[in-house]
Structure 1
Amino acid sequence: MPAKIASGTPSPQKKPATSAAPLDDRACVLLKTLVENYIAGGAPVGSRILSRASGLDLSAATVRNVMADLEDLGFIASPHTSAGRIPTPRGYRFFVDSLLTMQPLEQMDHARILAELAGAKAQPGQIINHASRLLSDLTRFAGIVVAPRHPSNRIRQIEFIALSEKRVLLVLVTSDGNVQNRILSTDRAYSSAELIEAANTLNQNFVGLELDQMRTRVHDELVRIRSDLQALMTAALTASGEALMPKESETIISGEKNLLDVDDLSSNMRRLRELFDLFEQRTALVRLLDLSQRAEGVRLYIGQESGIATLDECSVVTAPYQVEGQVVGSVGVIGPTRMAYDRVIPIVDITARLLSSALTEQAQG
């Protein structure tokens, strides 16, 4: 399972290595140096560069030995075309969990996020669109926001109208004034008096409840209802539940085209097409981002950790956001595994926090 980035604004202080770390201090320094150099330059890192950049007083031969150990442990790999090494997803994961030094977000970027989100107070949709675009602009990757689900309506009134011997029209009036009709096929004919009694019972017990509340009360109330009306009541409540189902979450993605400029991804056009197909379908992405709503703080999925094959060469950084203390959606960035985690993680974290503040202020205003 992907590890959770510590909640709270990422600190510029270095994260301590876990006690279970399988590497000694020397290997940690060399791995950290290798990952940072590879992220910055994109080229496999050789022992000479590591020897100079690590600040350790080690011979090239010693560095090569340590690198061989790191490769055996699965933290780095050696491309066929180069004597240097590159990080593996396991190497990135250890780097992020134990070695990463977070960079504080630049004041200018922080001010831009705050100004643009606060400046879109008129409509929540505008605020969410601004957040997606900001994530894309600041990281130069794809920014994604899962918007809150539209809240469930409530049933305001229920009425039955006989259409034929075994067909009944169910009329539902929802709290937003929408009138929905459902035709129910029944196992027997119902008299006008029975239809009025059924409607009165449902209006008395279920009007004004949200869908989840209706489901909770159904069983307890139906046992008290005349057995010969239970089938009609059950059919009516099922149809009411369908009418009240909230709409699917809207997903806003910005900056997909930024990934065309990422060498690590653009060199594989087949995978890039699959990635754009994923953006278009969105269902798998929504499920992934929904997971971030179940935990505090920032979550990071590296390569196969996402469970989505198309993202095997990507990393996804996500964080939940709230309205009035309730988690309602999530924000994220999708980019290559070779991303500047020390910068992207704070951008996602702070955007989620400022989006929460802006939406809460809008809701209370």
Structure 2
Amino acid sequence: MSTRESQRVPPKRRPFGDVGVVVDFSAVAADAGGTPDAAFIGLDRRKTSILATVVYEYIATGEPVGSAMLTQKYNLGVSPATVRAEMADLEEEGYLDQPHTSAGRVPSDLGYRYYVDRLMLPETVTQEERDRIKTEVGRASRQLDSAADHASHVLSNLTKHIAFAIAPRLDGQSYRHVQLIWIDVRSVHVVLVTNVGVAAQTTVETSEDVDPDRLTRACNNLNRHLVGHRLSDITFEKLNQLSAETPLPSDLVRLLAGLFIEQSEAHVERRLFAGGAHNLLDQQEFRDLRKLRAILDLLEEQRSLYELLQESLSTKGPKVSIGHELGNADMSECSVVTMPYKVANRNAGAVGVLGPRRMQYAKLIALVTYMTERLNVLFQGEFFES
């Protein structure tokens, strides 16, 4: 029977409801001769249960966990000496660390990895959290940069960690349609829509009067002739030629040409948006000013966060990177949860959350997953197909 199958809520205490794990405490008192998991050599059922308890306690309190506290707080059915011996073995096997000689123990990267991969039960997103995410994503109105910006800020507010997102790369866009919205005789609002969404919108003040009916005919003519063309192929000369058929003010034609050039050349590299740096101040792991500065420097430099999100584009679901797995010494005490979202049914952008290793992984995975689901809904359908 697997660890997950054997998990049952203990009669006297269910400590893991808020961090996504329930432990079978009867396994702690069982013989230590169970079958170890092949991926994590050395962990029998008793060690697994003790490790789960240590992870829970440390995530909940931030304090090193000792054997006496575990036996007093939880009905483990074994003596403190037995728990102490098992914890020593877990440390030797790399699942626990002892920060100070006289202190208890804390999970190592390997301990957190075992927890995430083997012990963690899924969490759900509350209705309030769903509503907040839906509202914020809805405000983006299919604008790619705006969607990434809104995603990072609502996730940082909900998770109390740093959240970040990359917008899709916009090179190679093709023309879908343009909206020329008459405001008054000298004002026109322009909305450019490409195969990946609303690329740009602005209001132009014209130097000559604009007739609304003529504007509508000109707009229809542009859309009839330009749909499917790459933006980089739509030149000022081409627009002038079409404008001769259904006249447009010259300054409006120049504006349109500028938008096409700007959007065809923009965002060769995806833009990164981040929010929630202030949340670091509330986390004990970053009370050391050197550690705080290192993370703030990463936020300013952006390259490391950008690469993490780039890597997630090749994945299908949420990816959890813990401590030294991140490959960056400045993030060795952090964990990151990332997941891609789709535009035109292809992985095109990604969102992520960065916090201390002592984070509520199951809840963060649930929030990041729901955020990408809402972004997928925003950017799905024939409207976005190339």
TM over 0.5: yes
Give, as a single letter, the amino acid of the residue that structure 2 aligns with 1:250.
R
Match of 1:260 in 2: 281
Match of 1:102 in 2: 122
8 Å CA contact retained: 1:321, 1:352: yes
Which of 269, 272, 280 is the aligned partner of 1:248? 269
Gap runs ≥5 in structure 2: 1-19, 24-35, 175-230, 238-263
> Distance in 2 between the 1:13 and 1:59 partners?
23
8 Å CA contact retained: 2:318, 2:339: yes
8 Å CA contact retained: 2:67, 2:83: yes
- CA displacement at 1:307 relative to structure 2: 1.3
Which of 326, 330, 333 is the aligned partner of 2:346? 326
Match of 1:134 in 2: 154
Q: Is 1:308 matched up with 2:366?
A: no
- CA displacement at 1:81 relative to structure 2: 6.0
- CA displacement at 1:152 relative to structure 2: 2.2
Q: Percent identity?
A: 37
Match of 2:40 in 1: 21
- CA displacement at 1:330 relative to structure 2: 0.6
> Distance in 2 between the 1:176 and 1:144 partners?
34
> Distance in 2 between the 1:135 and 1:286 partners?
17
Match of 2:183 in 1: none
Alignment map for 1:25-174 (pairs within 5 Å): 25-80=45-100, 82-121=102-141, 123-152=143-172, 174=232
> Distance in 1 between the 2:322 and 2:114 partners?
11
Match of 1:350 in 2: 370
Give, as a single letter, the amino acid of the residue that structure 1 aligns with 2:274.
I
Q: How many residues align?
A: 272
Classify the secondary structure of the residue corresponding to 2:169.
coil
8 Å CA contact retained: 2:98, 2:106: yes
> Distance in 1 between the 2:144 and 2:369 partners?
19
8 Å CA contact retained: 1:78, 1:85: yes
> Distance in 1 between the 2:267 and 2:138 partners?
28
- TM-score, normalization by structure 2: 0.65
8 Å CA contact retained: 1:18, 1:98: no
Q: Which moved more, 1:328-337 or 1:253-262?
A: 253-262
8 Å CA contact retained: 2:334, 2:354: yes
Which of 215, 230, 235 is the aligned partner of 1:177? 235
Match of 2:300 in 1: 280
- CA displacement at 1:60 relative to structure 2: 0.7
Alignment map for 1:192-271 (pairs within 5 Å): 247-265=268-286, 267-271=287-291
| Larger RCO, structure (CA 8 Å, separation 6 or more) | 1
The CA RMSD over aligned residues, in Å, is 2.7
- CA displacement at 1:272 relative to structure 2: 1.6
Q: Is 1:297 matched up with 2:355?
A: no
> Distance in 2 between the 1:18 and 1:100 partners?
15
Classify the secondary structure of the residue corresponding to 1:360.
coil
Classify the secondary structure of the residue corresponding to 1:174.
helix
Pair 1:176–1:313, CA change in 2 (3 A): farther
Q: Which runs of 4 or more aligned residues in structure 1 lie more than 4 Å from their structure 2 counterparts after TM superposition?
A: 12-15, 243-246, 361-365
- TM-score, normalization by structure 1: 0.68
